[in-house]
Amino acid sequence: MISWKRWLWLALAGTMISSPSSVLQARTPYEFYVVSRHDDPFFQRVDDGCKQAELELRQDLVCFPQPADDAAGQAKILADLVARKVDGIAVDAYDDPSVVGELKAAAAAGIPVVAWDVDLPAGSTSLRTVFVGSNDYDLGADIGKLIKMLKPAGGSICLQSNSATSTRNEDRLWGIRDALAGAHSPQAPGNQLNGQGGWTELAGCPVYTTDDFATTMGKIEEVLTDNSDLGAFVSASGFTGFDEASFSDFMVDHAQAIQTRYLAFVIADTFEGQDDVRTRLWKKNLLNGEALQRPFRIGYALMYALRDIKNGAAAPTGPIYIGVDVCRSDNWEVCSGRDAVTY
């Protein structure tokens, strides 16, 4: 829902179209920079959302993408932006002292900082005004609810996560476990399932993997082949940028079990904009559930947040959470709402 202030601004903008060109030329838009961890498809969708906001508010802001492949590169980009005294920075920050140091410099220089996708590390959140991204506990809970819908009677389950040290990944496991158990546990990663809600986690699960696709697939293969009666396999993270061909070749041996829902196979790290890949996987019956993130809307929200901050609006009292699309076999073709901006 667009706020009344935004509608008012758009109404005023409509009247400005007929204003003299000299008035328009006198306006200097804010320059906001979106700093990412990688120049990957997820970030490209964030940039698309950023550009959409720019089109709507051309007299208010210009958006510049700034990808970085490692912490050192990101720290260098931030140092340059601080030195130039830019109008605002949106950053998917590496948890690294060099990056935190540059964000401290930005704060000292009075440059607004908004965190996105992954929040700043504990103890550093005061360096940003607000966080924009997914609520990982809720994302996990949505997955858990989907699994319960697919297999109401419960059964055995194995969870996979990309890291045991990532707060966001542990929050996802927490949400999945709570939703399946039907009860809230006090802290991440939640209580391991041992019959709660009819679900029991296999010994040796969760399976923790890395960004290396071959390692991920190898561990999944081991779980699926060693447990022919497995009821559900859930990837909470770690499939971003997966090798589609290898995944398809590997999963074809399990397609019948997935198609009949004997095995519920659900993944959480897909996102809007992967439409061609997603379509082929669904048509091959290699999925029966996914949580689809919305990077376009994240990028769109970042620009409005920075614009509002620069214009003196009160800071949000909490995170700006962008929801996810929960996709099933009966709705996957229309699941991604990337063209409907809802921020």
**Same domain? 282 vs 141:** yes
In a domain, 22, yes or no: no
Let me know whether 97 and 231 are in one domain: no
Q: What is the predicted pLDDT for the residue at 85? A: 97
Q: CATH code at 282?
A: 3.40.50.2300
Q: Are 79 and 192 part of one and the same domain?
A: no
Rounded to an integer, the average pLDDT of 116-142 is: 94
Question: Which of 264, 287, 269 has its CA nearest to residue 333?
Answer: 287
Note down the domain range covering 74. 29-128+295-324
- Per-residue pLDDT averaged across 215-243, rounded? 81
Give the residue with greater pLDDT, 309 vs 249: 309
Judge whether 333 lies within some domain.
Answer: no
The verdict on residue 239 lying in a domain is: yes
168 and 35 housed in the same domain: no
- pLDDT for residue 21 is more than 70: no
Residues 275 and 319 grouped into a single domain: no
Instruction: Identify whether residues 38 and 92 lie together within a single domain.
Output: yes
Q: What is the pLDDT of residue 17?
A: 33
Let me know whether 286 and 317 are in one domain.
Answer: no
Residue 15 lies in a domain: no
* Residue whose pair of structure tokens reads 């979106």 in the numeric block: 34
> Before 189, cis peptide (omega within 30)?
yes
Reported confidence tier of residue 7, pLDDT bands at 50, 70, 90: very low
Beta strand extents in the chain (DSSP E only):
30-35, 61-66, 88-91, 113-116, 130-133, 155-161, 199-201, 207-208, 232-235, 264-271, 289-293, 320-321, 325-327
- The whole-model pTM stands at 0.85
Tell me if 301 is assigned to some domain: yes
Find out whether the peptide bond into 67 is cis, omega within 30 degrees of 0: no
| Mean pLDDT for the stretch of residues 219-242 | 82
Residue 218 within any structural domain of the chain:
yes
Shared-domain flag, residues 101 and 156: no
**Cα–Cα distance, 343 to 300 (Å, whole number):** 8
Are the beta carbons of 322 and 300 closer than 8 angstroms? no
| Shared domain check, 300 and 256 | no
Both 35 and 93 in a single domain?
A: yes
List of residues 6+ apart from 179 with CB closer than 8 A: 140, 141, 142, 143, 144, 145, 147, 148
* Per-residue model confidence as pLDDT tens digits over 242-262: 566 666 777 777 888 888 878
pLDDT for residue 38: 87
Mean pLDDT (the chain) is 85
Together in a domain, 152 and 180: yes
Tell me: do 231 and 272 sit in the same domain.
yes
User: For residue 30, is pLDDT > 60?
Assistant: yes
* Assigned domain for 196 exists: yes
How many CB atoms neighbour CB 241 within 10 A?
A: 14
Beta bridge partners of 155: 199
Lowest-confidence range among 21-25, 215-219, 238-242, 309-313?
Answer: 21-25
Q: Would you say residue 81 has pLDDT above 90? A: yes
Q: Domains in the chain: how many in total?
A: 2
274 vs 104 pLDDT, higher one: 104
Instruction: Report whether pLDDT(66) > 90.
Output: yes
Residue 70 lies in a domain: yes
pLDDT score of 243: 60
Residue 2 CB neighbours (<10 A)? 13
